[in-house]
Amino acid sequence: MNTLNKMATFNKLTGLALIGLSTLALSGCANKAVVSYGDAQAVETTDINFGSTDLQKVASQMTDSLLASPVIGTMTANTRPIVFVERIKNKTSEHIDTESITDSISTQLLRSGKFRFVDMGRVEAAREQLTFQNEDALVNPATAVAFGQQVGAQYMLYGNLSSIVKSNADKADVYYKFTMRLMDLKSGLVEWADETEIRKTREKSTFGW
């Protein structure tokens, strides 16, 4: 093979290689995922399971109901009751982050300015800090917070999330019921209770679920 033929062959192979690389690059760009921000308050309809829209709905409805109650109005007229919020119990067959529901409700109630809260989830961490302040030589005793001064809760807010799921060949239906109660820890009396319901359906399309 003469020099001209060798150069022609080399140029041809180089061109094919460049075309191949360009194709791969374009393919990679075409398949690259695009990340964007959405509206956190937008209605979520990705599937039939409990989602962000349901969480926001039950948290807002329970908070509004509690704050609108005449009993709560009287209770908070001249004072800010101290409340312990127990984590919502998940009685559904789904894995649901009920701590997020609990956090949303307690945050909205705290923002109302009518209640104060004790955080039982941080009791152990607080105990460790108090032990350090009172027993470690590094801490000035004059600035240490003494044991036995924390304020106990007067009321407990607790609730359950349950569901009923039914389906057949053409349709799936899920019904959620969210119930909450506020108990006076001294008397054991339930001062407020309410519930909200959600029903979601999914029908089979022409191409399946």
Half-sphere exposure of 182 (CA within 13 A, CB side): 23
Residue 144: give the domain boundaries.
Answer: 52-203
> Is residue 46 domain-resident?
no
Who contacts 33 (Cβ-Cβ below 8 Å, separation ≥6)?
A: none
**Does residue 38 belong to any structural domain of this protein?**
no
Which pLDDT belongs to residue 169? 79
- Structural domain includes residue 114: yes
Q: Lowest-pLDDT range, 6-10, 62-66, 151-155?
A: 6-10
Secondary structure of the chain as H, E, C letters: CCHHHHHHHHHHHHHHHHHHHHHHHHHHHHHCCCCCCCCCCCCCCCCCCCCHHHHHHHHHHHHHHHHHCHHHHHHCCCCCCEEEECCCEECCCCCCCHHHHHHHHHHHHHHCCCCEEECHHHHHHHHHHHHHHHHCCCCCCCCCCCCCCCCCCCEEEEEEEEEEEEECCCEEEEEEEEEEEEEECCCCCEEEEEEEEEEEEEECECCEC
pLDDT per residue over 66-105, tens digit each? 999 999 999 999 999 999 999 999 999 889 889 899 999 9
Within-domain flag for 7: no
21 within domain boundaries: no
Residue 174 near residue 102, CB atoms below 8 Å: no
- Measured N-to-C along each axis, helices 98-111 and 52-68 cross at an angle, to the nearest 10 degrees, of 40
Encode pLDDT of 101-146 as tens digits: 999 999 999 999 999 998 877 778 888 888 888 888 888 888 888 8
Decide: 156 and 183 in contact? Cβ < 8 Å.
Answer: yes
Those residues with Cβ within 8 angstroms of residue 110's Cβ, 6 or more apart along the chain or in another chain: 116, 117
Residue 44 located in a structural domain: no
Who contacts 51 (Cβ-Cβ below 8 Å, separation ≥6)?
A: 44
Domain assignment of residue 65, yes or no? yes
Number of domains in the chain: 1
CATH number, residue 88: 3.40.50
Q: Is residue 42 part of a domain?
A: no
Provide the percentage of residues in the chain whose pLDDT is more than 90. Answer: 41
Angstrom distance (rounded) from CA 143 to CA 141? 5
pLDDT bin (cut points 50, 70, 90) of residue 167 is confident
Q: How far apart are CA 167 and CA 3, in angstroms?
A: 75
Task: Read off the pLDDT of each residue in 192-207 and give the average, rounded to a whole number.
Answer: 84
